[in-house]
Amino acid sequence: MAHGFWNFGSSRGIQFGMLYDHTKGEERRDGMATAHRGHQTYFPLSVYMAERLDRYPGQDKISDAAWPHGDARHWLETGLSAGWLGSYQNGPQGTSAGLLDMALSVRYHSEHPTGGMIYGLTVSLPTGQHRSYDKARVPQGLAFFQDFGAGWQIVPEMEGVRRVTEGDSVHAKLSYEVRRSYDYRKESWDDNVDPGDIIRGRLSYRHIGEREQAETWLRGSYTGRTTQTADGEPGTYRDGAEFEIGWAYSGRWGEKDDFEAYTTYGHQRRTSAVWEAKATDDNEIAIGVHHMAEPSVHWQVLASRFHSTTGYDTLYREADTGAWTRWSLLTRVDWQASSTESWAFSLERYRRREQGRVPYQGVAAALWYTHAF
């Protein structure tokens, strides 16, 4: 295979979905235990277009193997994503419904037989419900979204690939996220947050063999100082540096079955004018199987465990709530209905336990439809 680092050719398509998540548990506040139930409904929509820039007659008839050595391929990819979210949590002022932030993206691809580059720009528009009630927010590890809008964001990025052997390649990505201030609480018109900018980087090594695939990566980020006003009192904090190392593997163990596994370890250290320096460690491990029932139908089962040494409960504005663990069992079915249409359905059962609290449990379901023009 001479190329194939990213999508190639001229194409257009649309994707939309319907996602539903239901959680229940028990909250303790001021020494009182209260039942908690909530659900989120999410309708995402995305449109994409990729256009070949160096077109020539007969190009669609040239196979990968016949691609002339040294001949570059260039194309432009544009996209738009948006969505509507309804989040309904137990208790008064626990509802937030409306659009999420809309994102516009453009990426320029340049691909060669030995590597390639991507230069991209993403702009997030503040169309979401950035102002919401405290009780409408959801703790970490529950539901699809913990908040519903984050103001203007501009993210330039670049990504490079270098082929080492026929099946091995090195990938590197760098981005800088510019974030603007916004009001975030409906309880007070004066509560504002001016988040720090984020620089992100990722380096990975990928291997693709006849019967197995593997990837090892190192990801890091650094967040600048954030200024936040809460209940009329200003304060500053710094999320600081964060890094993650990870490994993923997929191996064929039969004609139609694959074994899949991945594991990650992450570390973050933040400082604050109020809190002392605080370190957070988290790790995740997952194993699963992938089965091809027939050429157009695939299904997957994946079990995972995520653990973090500290948490933040946005539902009740509590920082450093203690270690928490999330267990999950997910099943997914993919159906390629035709050459231009595909469907995917997933169902997840999860449980989240935190020190000193009755655990949450929930169910999440998702249905996706993709159509290529």
Give me the amino acid identity at 113. P
pTM higher than 0.75, yes or no? yes
Left (φ > 0), alpha (ψ -120 to 50) or beta: where does 198 sit?
A: beta
**SS3 assignment, position 133:** coil
In the structure encoding, which two tokens stand for residue 211, read together?
Answer: 């019967």
Amino acid at 299: W
Radius of gyration for the alpha carbons in the chain, expressed in angstroms and rounded? 23
Where do the domains of the chain lie?
22-61+70-372
Token pair in block for residue 28: 């303790």
d(CA 59, CA 9): 10
Q: Does domain 22-61+70-372 have CATH number 2.60.40?
A: no
Half-sphere exposure (Cβ direction) of 27: Cα atoms closer than 13 Å: 21
Nearest one of 138, 98, 105 to 119, comparing CA atoms:
105
Beta strands in 113-191 (DSSP E): 115-125, 153-163, 168-179, 182-183
The strand pair at 11-29 and 32-52 is best described as antiparallel
CA separation (Å) from 46 to 14, 20, 83, 273?
6, 18, 8, 40
Distance CA 315, CA 91 (A): 11
Contact 366, 83 (CB under 8 A): no
**pLDDT in single tens digits along all 373 residues of the chain:** 233 333 444 588 999 999 999 988 766 555 566 677 888 999 999 999 988 887 554 455 555 555 554 467 888 999 999 999 988 886 667 788 889 999 999 999 998 888 999 999 999 999 988 777 777 777 777 888 877 888 899 999 999 999 999 899 999 999 999 999 888 777 767 778 888 899 999 999 999 998 999 999 999 999 888 887 777 777 777 777 899 999 999 999 888 999 999 999 999 876 654 445 577 899 999 999 999 999 999 999 999 999 998 776 554 445 566 788 999 999 999 999 999 999 999 999 999 988 777 788 999 999 999 999 8
